Amino acid sequence: MSLFLIVALPFLGALLPGLMYQAGRQACASVTFTVTLAAFIGLLTNLPAVWSGQVVQAGVDWIPSLGLNVTFMLDGLGFFFALLILGIGLLIITYARYYLAREDNMGEFFTYLLLFQGAMVGIVLSDNILLLLVFWELTSLSSFLLIGYWKHLPAGRQGARMALTVTGMGGLAMIGGMLILGQIVGSYDLSVILQNREIIQESPLYLPALILILMGCFTKSAQFPFHFWLPHAMAAPTPVSAYLHSATMVKAGIFLMARMWPVLSGTPEWFYIVTTAGLITMVLGAVIALFKHDLKALLAFSTVSHLGLITMLLGTGTAFGAFAAVFHILNHATFKAALFMSAGIIDHETKTRDIRTLGGLRFLMPITFVIATLAALSMAGIPFLNGFLSKEMMLEEMEHTYLFGPEWLVPALATFGSLFSAAYCFRLISHTFLGPRRKPESYPAKPHDPSFGMWGPPALLVVLVVIIGSAPFLVEDFVKLVTASVLGLAAEVPDKHIKIWHGLVPALYMSIIAVIGGLAVLALFTPLSKAWEATPRPEAKTIFDAVIAAFVKLARVLTHPLHDGAFSRYASIFAITVIGAGYFAWSTGTTGMATRVMQPPDPVAIAGWLMLVAATLGLVFLHRNRLLALILIGIVGLMVSVGFVYFSAPDLAMTQITVEVVTIILLLLALNFLPNRTPIESSVLRRTRDGIIAVAGGLGAMALSYHYLLRDAVATPISEFHLANSYKGGGGTNVVNVILVDFRGFDTYGEIIVLGIAALLIFALTETLLSSNVRARLLNRLPDQPRAGDRHPMMMVVLTRVLMPVVLLVGFYVFLRGHNEPGGGFIAGLVVSIGVVMQYMASGYKWANDRLRYPYHGIIGAGVLVAGFTGIGSWFVSKPFLTSDFTYVRIPPFQEFELATAALFDVGVFLAVVGAVMLSLDSFSRLARTAETEDPEHPMDIDPSRKDTQEAN
């Protein structure tokens, strides 16, 4: 299966659970399981190629000039992590089906789960670091939704915010590091970066890149000092904890360290930073986990500890350390996911996770007892279980690691961490399941083993725990294959075997000390727990909340004086910044001598310029009269249109004129609800300040224009490319239209979307007004001037209805000629809009609205969809989005004519423009009361003193 499809399947499948919600819980779970299974099978189809040592690649160039390509690669490391993500994902989906309560929205849950799954698969298969960064941030966002899924729980909302804040901060740092790394190598493709170890490590930017990338890895994988967010994320439903915090999300940082190991490891900086962080995290997490009374909190800190163990192994920079790290990633995913699901079963059946209220559950929940005990013993490092094997390899590697002190320091700390790891595992078993038999009524709820749907998934993982622990040779070749991908060209896979018995070696003695010491600590748990509770220590959540509060306070100090809601202040700050930057560039740059002679202006140009200046100055001094200001704006727009005609730009002139007509009409409707004059609200000092800024900006723009008009261009203008390729590349002789629908079609597509959004906002504001107390004021208002008695003059009604077919014909003609002559979908849409607007003006809103067959919302949506699907069609012929194609056909007896896909895109533009203009008009019209309007809720309440005015109207 294509790598594209493997990555895309979870994202596409995320649409299905929400749609299947009404079909029931089983339908939501089944469709989610099917999507994940399809991606899992697709991944397995690539196993033969990966097993033979090949690197499966797939990709397309998107923006090659920026190094942004959509490329994927599948090697041993990527296959391993994708296998964990999709394989454990199948078990979690099955488990969640029976874990979630009936009142939980399962469609929403599985939608979030598939989004997260797709983001994780995208991370491990990405061959472009910029693409990897996109998926990296998607994991933060989707995990935020999953952690905060139970929105009614304050702890869930707090945990989600904390996780997003910490991992998002690390993600921002990592973006900087990855960009530096791409600049060092000259490529953003991972397959290229991984082949340039020497160039990267010899660069002076190596250390900044390393620190920034490790910040992203450490925050995502909860390494010290960023470990505190993971336990608070345990407020999420247990399927989320089992999936995100044992097998997938927290392993993203581990994956990236393993992926970048060939080029970043092997230096003192890597060794000291990564090994130290991992060792501290391992020991600290193990100690804290022992004294947690909540089952999930205990498992959360144990996860922190084991992630530190893996980080420490990768930090050593040795091939054996990487080998042990890969093996422990596999083992940890199996026993930790099983433990989380077991904790969820206990919580689900007993309604508590507090170890202090449990005990004796082995009699009431024997199946859960066996599953949880085997998984916990594996985590403790007991022989014949897989955790023992990778723990032995870790201790062996630590025996040869020297860090900040005597030779015995690192082995001693590793043994100390393993001791507490064994202790909390023994506590989990003894305090939860062992002890005397108790009556079921002594628990918050009557305990019993759940259905197979809940205990089956963790049982399967525990079977793997036993198989790998008893017969490690079954997975040895696969682990070495993955290790080879981690090491790359930097080192060779160690020629060692994964064995249960290595002889009487120091690692064995260290392991025995850890197990016996763990039992001793468990025996002394009560006094140790009292000492722990009495010991003052910093609380991570308190520190985090204090830091966030400090940043919020600082942000308010900085932003409140600037962002006070006054648009004039925003505009002045922006304008002053632009003017200052422009002046600095002008004063420090070299302008050079003029290379052109100024042409003498003709009388027509002088007259047009004078009218434009007069209208502009009049607008400045008379803008408080809103109607007069609108007339002057229309004059300015008209003169700009004349200027376009003067400079031989008929397309722009037609667009400008039609836009002016439509906007003036809409603004006139808006003015109907505003006072005639704008009140004076600014002081003389402020108006003086604004005038100075405006004059300075105008003089700067004039100087810049004057400078460039008298000098030849330094570089070849883009217009020459458009002129040369308009016909042969876009199939049209109207360069402006070809630019809009082909060369810069993506810009046009964005513009029609923005236009539609603007119209929808006007509609939304109108709906808000009509559903509030403002409705009564609008319906009962009286005009301040007498109005004509004939609201719809017969001559205007007849004339507009006669002109309507003509306008449609003109619009159709303008649309068809747009690709080769002045015209196009945008102008045609405005022309037709003017024709429809005339109907509203002449015959009234009610008459026109009664004849409306298609809602304007739908017309906007249809336009955007038509334009979008036209662009997507380019992909089916391996061309970039919105690349047009054309051909010439001849249908007798007609002469040969052109067919271009750009015409379909222009249809979308046409529909979006018509829909947006008419929806805006419709919104304003509904605010105006007509003679036929009746509203019993808000009857007309006329002041007797104004009755005469009402009758005159």
Q: Report how far residue 899's alpha carbon sits from residue 893's, in angstroms, rounded to the nearest whole number.
A: 17
Q: With respect to residue 332, please indicate whether it lies within any of the assigned structural domains.
A: yes
Kindly report which listed range (389-403, 794-808, 869-883) carries the lowest average pLDDT score: 869-883
Domain boundary among 544, 577, 605: 544
Q: What are phi and psi of 655, to 5 degrees?
A: -60, -45
Q: What percent of the chain has pLDDT over 90?
A: 33
Q: What is the mean pLDDT of residues 95-115?
A: 89
Q: With respect to residue 373, please indicate whether it lies within any of the assigned structural domains.
A: yes
Q: What are phi and psi of 898, to 5 degrees?
A: -100, 140
Q: Are 833 and 826 in contact (CB under 8 A)?
A: no
Of 115-124, 347-356, 826-835, 892-901, which one has max mean pLDDT?
Answer: 115-124
Kindly report which listed range (425-439, 674-688, 716-730, 777-791) carries the lowest average pLDDT score: 777-791
Q: Are 916 and 755 in contact (CB under 8 A)?
A: yes
Q: Which residue has the tokens 């909860």?
A: 222
Domain boundary among 483, 512, 544: 544
Mean pLDDT of the chain: 85
Q: With respect to residue 938, please indicate whether it lies within any of the assigned structural domains.
A: no
pLDDT, greater one: 896 or 10? 10
Of 158, 146, 163, nearest in space to 220 by CA: 163
Q: Are 813 and 822 in contact (CB under 8 A)?
A: no
Q: Structural domain tally of the chain?
A: 2
Of 1, 3, 40, 33, nearest in space to 16 by CA: 33
∠ CA 552-553-559 to the nearest 5 degrees? 85
Q: With respect to residue 180, please indicate whether it lies within any of the assigned structural domains.
A: no
Q: With respect to residue 670, please indicate whether it lies within any of the assigned structural domains.
A: no
Of 378, 485, 100, 424, nearest in space to 284 by CA: 424
The two structure tokens encoding residue 448: 């019993």
Task: For 477-516, write each residue's pLDDT tens digit.
Answer: 999 999 999 998 777 888 888 888 877 888 888 999 999 9
Of 245, 202, 164, 188, nearest in space to 59 by CA: 188
Q: Report how far residue 904's alpha carbon sits from residue 770's, in angstroms, rounded to the nearest whole number.
A: 37
Residue 279 sits in which domain range?
A: 269-544
> What residue ranges in 800-936 does DSSP mark as E strands?
886-889, 897-900
Rg (CA), the chain: 35
Q: With respect to residue 686, please indicate whether it lies within any of the assigned structural domains.
A: no
Residue 561's alpha-carbon distances to 556, 580, 685, in angstroms, are 8, 21, 19
Task: For 11-67, write each residue's pLDDT tens digit.
Answer: 999 888 888 877 878 889 899 999 999 999 999 999 999 998 888 988 887 777 677
Q: With respect to residue 808, please indicate whether it lies within any of the assigned structural domains.
A: yes
pLDDT, greater one: 72 or 569? 72
Does the pLDDT at position 850 exceed 80? no
> What pLDDT, on a 0 to 100 scale, did the predictor assign at position 934?
47
Task: For 644-689, write each residue's pLDDT tens digit.
Answer: 888 888 888 888 888 888 888 878 877 777 777 888 877 888 888 8
Q: With respect to residue 612, please indicate whether it lies within any of the assigned structural domains.
A: no
